[in-house]
Structure 1
Amino acid sequence: MKSRKAKIYRLLLQTLEHAGASQETINKRKQRLKSLLRIKAFNEISKGVIFETDSSIFVVGAHLPFLMFKGKRVIGMTTDSPMYRLFKGKKDGDVIDFGTDKESISIL
C-alpha cells in the first residue's frame, strides 16, 4: 500500500472510532474499509479506489463520517451514487468538470 494511501486508511479507521455510531455500525464500516483497501492497485476509478482531485479525496464503496486530511475533505461514496457515475471509469490524470471548476484526478 502506498504511504499516502496507508495514512488515509489509518485516519479513516481512527475517525470511525469517534463517529458517534453504535459499536456494531463502527465494526461493519471498519470491516468494509479493510475489504475495500486490500484490493490490488487500480488504473481507473472503480469500487475500492481511493483517489483525489484538487479539492477532495474520495473513497469508493464506503460510507464515511465527515473528516479532513491535509486540508482536503475525505468523501466516501457508494457505487450507486450519482457522484460515482461522474467519476466511474476515469483514469489517473483525467480532468473532470466538478461544479464550476475543472479538476484533475489522481488515483492513490
Structure 2
Amino acid sequence: MDEFIVATTEHVPGYKVVKVLGIARGATVRAKHIGKDILAGLRNIVGGEVKEYTEMLAEAREVAIQRMIEHAKSMGANAVIGVRFMTSSIAAGAAEIFAYGTAVILEKE
C-alpha cells in the first residue's frame, strides 16, 4: 500500500486492521492577523460569513492533519482511522486546532 489513508470511520472498505499502534495527534495554534481582524470586525457589523477566519481555520486544520499524519508515520502506521477534530480558545485572539485518531497498519483484504 503506497498511499496513506486518513478516515473518520473505524473501518476502511477493502482493508483490514492488522495492528493498532495508538493515538496519533497533530495540533497548531493560530492567532488572528490584525488586518484580517479589522476586516472581520467590519463584516461582523453587516453580517455574513467571516471569510478571513474561515480561511484561517481551514489552513489550521490542514496543518493539524499533516502533523497527525507525520506522528502516525513515525509510529510505523500506514493509516489513521477514527479521525476527529477539536478546537479550543488558548488566549484572546488565538485558537488551537487539534486532530487525532487511531494510528493503524492496514492491509488489503
Q: TM-score, normalised by structure 2?
A: 0.30
Q: Which has the higher strand share?
A: 2
Q: Which has the higher contact order (CA 8 A, sep 6+)?
A: 2
Higher alpha-carbon Rg: 2
Q: TM-score, normalised by structure 1?
A: 0.30
